[in-house]
Amino acid sequence: MFIIFPKQKSTELSVRKALRYCTLTSLLFVSSVHAEIIWVGVKDPNIKDALFESYQGRHFDAITRLSMAQKLGRVVDQEQAGLVLGGLYLAYGFHDHAAKIFETFLGDEQPKEVRDQAWYFLAKTRYQRGNYAGAMQALNKVQDTLDFGLTQERNLLEATILLKQGKHLDALKVLKKINERSDWGMYAKFNKGVAVYHLGREQEGVKLLDEIGTLRSRDPELKALKDKANLVLGYGFLDKDKPDTAKAYLERMQLTGPFSNKALLALGRAYSDKKLYKKSLAPWLQLVERHPSDPAVQDAMMAVPYAFGQLEAYKQSLEYYEKAMLSFQAEIENINIAADAVGGGKMLEGMIRVAQFEDEGGDERKLRRVLNTPEGRYLMPLLASFEFREALHNYAALRLSLGKLEGWSARLDTYQDLTDQQRKEYEQRIARVQSKVLLLVEKYRHYLQSMAYDELERRKERLVNYFNEARFSVAQIYDYASKRWGTGNE
């Protein structure tokens, strides 16, 4: 709670606790292993055709074409086609289908290199589903036939799993196998910093993260990794009560990067920890001008009037508490609007468009229109959840398959070679499949809506708590002013 006077230890502890919503431990992360699969040495035209469709973002068509080519016996290299098909399912988010395909290539009758690739992609499938033990079991089956790139990625995946299991020493041993000049080198270095930090070798961990924090690159992913390293170091030193050191790292970060809001919040805290409240206002006042749906911005909305209170600028403190209350009320109303969008189905349509944009590319203006809605702003964090994203992929694919089935049903009359009996049988088959798909669509819709409602309720509870704290602080200001000056004004 942000109590602004008198200047007591309880006030300091309260503010410090509120500003530590993003701690060092929560910032330590391991890079995700992407589901995208790059294939080289493909000669079969049917496989090439499917991959072309996939690279154009038409994953469903890619899967359909390759599956049909296999059934019609047009594919020459069945092993490669099977692995590619499994990879397409994996990239599209159909992990059960992918796993079943990869499992068919694990027998001793398969060539060693085919088994190794199958075990590796099965490990990725299990990892993405959160089955770390199963993923590690599959990785241990991989021998020595993977090419250099896949070997480096395989090592990073193994280290990632070990870190998530808290086996930091084992993870460090694996990370040392990764070539720093490979595509995964910088991610490996970051994870080394995480591993040695948890092993108590803090200076070594800081050195590794500092090297990433001074990285020069125009690549957006590496710039984000650089900011992440500096943010980890900044919060780490704040937690060690070394605000000056923390400030040096936080000031390296981009002012408009993906972690800029957290950086501004932490920078203000670095000054606040030294009781330099006037200086803490500079980053916090900049932060409160950003979109209030961000939790860091909401924290800053409470931190600004607290800082003014510590400076005994009670009029400004009152002004910013009241501004915060109005903002929190507006955001609560936006959450209610978002909840209506969830119930009406508008949310799922928007989320599908966002997921498709991220997976396949598209018009960024359309993406911004989707995100610039209450449901878009408040539910975007759900897209970072593997569980939600997988369900969303499946829901979208099932919706797409319904359209395909309707198209096939409509075209039956155009096939002159079909007898009336055959046409009737096909119509019945399509109707049965449509019925099953409709049930699955409804099941996924309810599941996704339930997750969305839970996220919105969590967000709303946070805002309600902040609103009540701000209202209490406003009452304290009036009470203090009344006792000191006999009026409600400064």
Q: What is the pLDDT of residue 355?
A: 62
Confidence of residue 387 (pLDDT cuts 50, 70, 90): confident
- How many CB atoms sit inside 10 A of residue 207's CB? 12
Model pTM score = 0.75
| Band of pLDDT at residue 1, cut at 50, 70 and 90 | very low
- What average pLDDT score do residues 295-324 get? 96
Residue 245 lies inside a defined structural domain of this protein: no
Per-residue model confidence (pLDDT) at position 39: 52
> According to the model, what pLDDT value does residue 41 have?
63
- The answer, yes or no, to whether residue 105 has pLDDT greater than 60, is yes
Please indicate, yes or no, if residue 227 is contained in any of the structural domains: no
Residue 372, domain member (yes or no): yes
Mean pLDDT of the chain: 82
Quote the pLDDT of residue 190: 94
Q: Is residue 402 part of a domain?
A: yes
pLDDT tens-place string over residues 39-48: 556 778 888 8
Instruction: Establish if 398 belongs to a structural domain.
Output: yes
Residue 357 lies in a domain: yes
Rounded to 10 degrees, what is the CA torsion of 171, 40, 98, 145? -50
pLDDT of residue 31: 44
Query: Residue 489: pLDDT above 80?
Result: no
Please determine, for residue 417, whether its predicted confidence score (pLDDT) is greater than 90: no
**Residue 66 vs residue 419, higher pLDDT:** 66
Number of separate domains in the chain: 1
Please indicate whether residue 176 or residue 34 has the higher confidence score (pLDDT). Answer: 176
Confidence at 18, pLDDT banded by 50, 70, 90: very low
How many whole angstroms separate alpha carbon 121 and alpha carbon 90? Answer: 8
d(CA 270, CA 248): 10
User: 199, 200, 180, 196: which is closest to 188 by C-alpha?
Assistant: 180
| Lowest-pLDDT choice from 76-85, 219-228, 459-468 | 76-85
| Residue 265: predicted pLDDT | 97
Residue 437 host element (H or E):
helix 420-485
353 or 478, which is more confident? 478
Which of 62-71, 202-211, 343-352 ranks highest by mean pLDDT? 202-211
Q: What is the DSSP string of 77-134?
A: -HHHHHHHHHHHHHHHT-HHHHHHHHHTT-STTS-HHHHHHHHHHHHHHHHHTT-HHH
Contact 317, 3 (CB under 8 A): no
Amino acid 250: pLDDT:
97
Q: Nearest-5° angle of CA 7, CA 8, CA 10? A: 135
What does the pLDDT look like over 126-168, one tens digit per residue? 888 788 999 999 999 898 888 898 899 999 999 999 999 999 9
367 found inside a domain: yes
Q: 140: how many CB neighbours lie within 10 A of its CB?
A: 11
Length of the chain: 490
Is the alpha carbon torsion for 219, 221, 225, 231 positive or negative? positive
Answer yes or no: is pLDDT of 380 > 90: no
CB within 8 Å of 140: residues ≥ 6 apart: none
Asked whether residue 394 carries a pLDDT value surpassing 60, the answer given is: yes
pLDDT band at 6 (very low <50, low <70, confident <90, very high): very low
268 pLDDT more than 90: yes
pLDDT digits (tens, 9 = 90+) for 288-308: 999 999 999 999 999 999 999
Band the pLDDT of 93: cuts 50, 70, 90: low
Instruction: Read off the pLDDT band of 318 (50, 70, 90).
Output: very high
What is residue 72's predicted lDDT score, i.e. its pLDDT? 78
Check: CB of residue 100 under 8 Å from CB of residue 134: no
Peptide bond before 6: cis, by omega within 30 degrees of 0? yes
How much is the pLDDT for 88?
Answer: 80
Query: What are the distances in angstroms from CA 399 to CA 1, 66, 406, 438, 440?
Result: 47, 20, 11, 8, 10
Give the structural domain span for 449.
339-485
**Is it the case that residue 14 has pLDDT exceeding 80?**
no
In the prediction, which pLDDT does 144 show? Answer: 87
Q: Say if 395 falls within a structural domain.
A: yes
Span 240-255, pLDDT tens digits: 999 999 999 999 999 9
